[in-house]
Amino acid sequence: MTRLSHILLAALMAVLALSASAQELQCGISVTSASVQGTNKQVYDEMRTAIQDFMSQQIWTQDKFESRERIECSFNFNITSQVSSNEFKGTLTVQLRRPVFNSSYTTTMLNVQDKDIQFRYNQGQPLTYNPNSYDPDNLVPLLAFYVNFMLGLDYDSFSPNGGSQYFKQAETIVNQAQSSQFGGWKSFDGTTNRYWLINNAMDDNHRNFHSCLYDYHRRGLDQMADNFETARDAVRECLDKIKDIRRRISRNPYLLNLFFTAKSDEIVNIFSEAPQIEKDKIIEIMQVADPANISKYQKLRK
């Protein structure tokens, strides 16, 4: 083999090694700008490509993911105004989905709309992430925050408290952004923002929420093909934990509300064939755990 062949082979191996360690996410990106008039629409196509490249090339964990193990998610940007040539405002919808073992079913773990995003994007400039500092353009911190938060949820669902390091990194990003000129990072920016999302996740009163994610997904949904009744019991244990959390917290229950935004219909389906005494128990639990959706659970009495 020639020296050139050795060099080419080494380069190929390096690329393959990088591909094996990266690519944790199977992430769909969309950028819409229908309400923005009279601007260069090409910038939004380039923005989507830059975000897609960043999300797929960034190494987020120390673990290796096979193609079938990649975490399924989507980031949908709706740009509502262009403040300047490189500054944009809008909303961001983030969704996280998880496959259920021994089935073709995929369960939603997160469905959140961030209504207060503003950032700068410079055409032709690649996006880079430095976990040790806040990027004042704000786009990369937005992406990195939600990626780490999703990793926390996903890892929690496979092992008890498995997502701790990713929630801590999301908290670090929020702390770094406290001096940001952009909204959504501070407690006084509203009650449904990034600050309160990670504040809930790290709050001691929500400690059992993380083990609940394991109960619901790994002991619950993943086992339903093998033993539906035992799996349903695990889901009920999770809901009981959330009921206790809801009773203890006196402040904004944003994280719990988002959990039930993703899960309320699924919970009704899980218990739709349960004995009536068990259905009544679930309704009793959900009156405390998820009062906003109680009308859905009341249908279990019919």
pLDDT digits (tens, 9 = 90+) for 74-95: 999 999 999 999 999 999 999 9
User: What 8-state DSSP symbol labels residue 203?
Assistant: S
Phi-psi region of 126 (alpha: psi -120 to 50; beta: other; left: phi over 0): beta
In whole angstroms, give the CA distance from residue 234 to residue 74. 28
Mean pLDDT of 289-300: 96
Q: Residue 173's pLDDT is what?
A: 98
pLDDT of residue 73: 96
H helix intervals, 85-130: none
**pLDDT score recorded for residue 279:** 96
Alpha carbon distance 51, 140 (integer Å): 9
Mean predicted confidence (pLDDT) in 114-140: 95
- Rounded distance between C-alpha atoms, residue 57 and residue 94, angstroms: 19
16-67 pLDDT tens trace: 333 334 478 999 999 999 888 876 789 999 999 999 999 989 999 989 888 7
pTM of the model: 0.91
Q: Is the pLDDT of residue 273 over 90?
A: yes
Q: What integer pLDDT is reported at residue 41 of this predicted model?
A: 83
Give the count of beta carbons closer than 10 Å to the beta carbon of residue 124. Answer: 6
Judged by DSSP in three states, 119 sits in strand
pLDDT digits over 149-171, tens only?
999 999 999 999 999 999 999 99
The answer to whether residue 7 scores a pLDDT higher than 70 is no
User: Which residues does 272 contact at the CB level (< 8 Å), separation at least 6?
Assistant: 300
Confidence of residue 275 (pLDDT cuts 50, 70, 90): very high
Rounded mean pLDDT of the chain? 91
Cα distance between residue 94 and residue 78, in whole Å: 11
Q: What angle do CA 165, 188, 144 make, to 5 degrees?
A: 30
